[in-house]
Amino acid sequence: MGFITMPKNAFNLTGQTALITGGGTGLGFGMAKCFVAAGAKVIIVGRRKEELEKSRAALGENAFAVVGDVTKLETIPGLVQKAEKLAGPISILVNNAGVHLKKSALETSDAEFANVLQTHVFGAFALSREIGRGMVARKSGSILFTASMTTLFGIPLVVAYSAAKSAYAGMVRTLAVELGSQGVRVNAIAPGWIESDMLNEALNNDPPRKAKIIGRTPMNKFGKAEDIGWAAVYLCSPAAQFVTGVILPVDGGASVGF
């Protein structure tokens, strides 16, 4: 039985152009860093121009920034055109933009619920449809959604966010089935608890919650943004050429811990 030689380009994204929504901060920026390191050109999209430009500069010459708001669905075709004019046809789309709402279900208003769905679900779908058409025409592409632990199990006080992230699971499966024969793969990552300024700020004042999270995470620590980034590189690379319709937890075992 001979050894398999790994192709040099198995995890290489040279020649690929990735668009990442919410790419200027947090997990989006972590993914952007890893995509650039893997050789891709990266277009980061966000609403705050100054922050976006600072992140673009930090990413280097293979990064581009486009100011845009995915909740304004009528602007999405123009946003895609602008991005492709800057960096070429988009071969990887990462639907990562999101808003959070921490509120009990019984106190969440219709407007608040709709606002969370508008960003996560409607924005991600409109972008997937718009960019997906180009991918299908080229018979090649990868669409990735940032799902969540709330996609997998019940977490209190985040009913709108949970509904939105659960909708991602349905979109991933349907798009994977519809587009698979046309060369387009569709997957999601479900991050566990990832270290960030926001998480640290929330948990430093809430030791019992911090202990609960660590206690249910078998690896006994928080993840880093790059942990999500390298998983994203894998799912969008030739190494995952037969992987579609998957929701990959990157969570230190939290989703299987007891």
Instruction: For residue 204, tell me if it sits in a domain.
Output: no
Q: Considering its fold, how many domains does the chain have in total? A: 1
Angle of helix 49-59 relative to helix 26-37, nearest 10 degrees, comes to 30
Each residue's pLDDT tens digit, 115-172: 999 999 999 999 999 999 999 999 999 999 999 999 999 999 999 999 999 999 999 9
Please check the confidence at residue 193 and state whether its pLDDT lies above 80.
Answer: yes
Mean pLDDT value of segment 99-127: 96
Binned at pLDDT 50, 70 and 90, residue 204 comes out as confident
Is residue 66 within 8 A of residue 45, CB to CB? The reply is: yes
Q: 198 or 127, which is more confident?
A: 127
Average pLDDT value over all residues in the chain? 94
Residues composing the chain: 258
For residue 129, tell me if it sits in a domain.
Answer: yes
Domain-embedded: residue 239: yes
Query: 36 to each of 13, 22, 225, how far by Cα in Å?
Result: 8, 16, 14
Q: Which of 29, 113, 161, 168 is catalytic?
A: 161
pLDDT band at 4 (very low <50, low <70, confident <90, very high): low
pLDDT at 209 exceeding the cut of 90: no
Which of the residue ranges 50-54, 163-167, 203-207, 226-230 would you say has the lowest mean pLDDT? 203-207
Backbone φ, ψ for residue 136 (5° rounding): -65, -40
Q: How far is CA 254 from CA 42, 105, 155, in A?
A: 30, 24, 13
* pLDDT, tens digit (0-9, with 9 covering 90-100), for 223-237: 999 999 999 999 999
Q: Which residue's structure tokens are 């007891």?
A: 258
Q: What is the CATH number of the domain that holds 144?
A: 3.40.50.720
Q: Tens digits of per-residue pLDDT, 61-73?
A: 999 999 999 999 9
**Which domain does 147 fall in, by range?**
17-194+224-248
How far apart, in whole angstroms, are the C-alpha atoms of residue 119 and residue 98?
6
> Within a domain: residue 113?
yes
Clarify whether 161 is annotated catalytic.
yes
Task: Give per-residue burial for 187-196: e unless 16+ CB within 10 Å, then b.
Answer: bbbbbbbbeb
Q: What is the predicted pLDDT for the residue at 5? A: 65
pLDDT at 250 over 90: yes
Let me know if residue 22 belongs to a domain: yes
pTM of the full predicted structure? 0.94
Backbone angles phi, psi at 89, to 5 degrees: -55, 135
pLDDT of residue 7: 66
Distance of CA 193 to the CA centre of its chain: 15
Residues 16-36 have a mean pLDDT of 97
Instruction: Give a yes or no: residue 203 inside a domain.
Output: no
Burial 213-222 (b: 16+ CB within 10 A, else e): bbebbeeeeb
Other Cβ atoms within 10 Å of 158 Cβ, number: 22
Establish if 170 belongs to a structural domain. Answer: yes
Average pLDDT over residues 9-32: 96
Question: Strand locations in 122-170, DSSP E?
Answer: 141-146
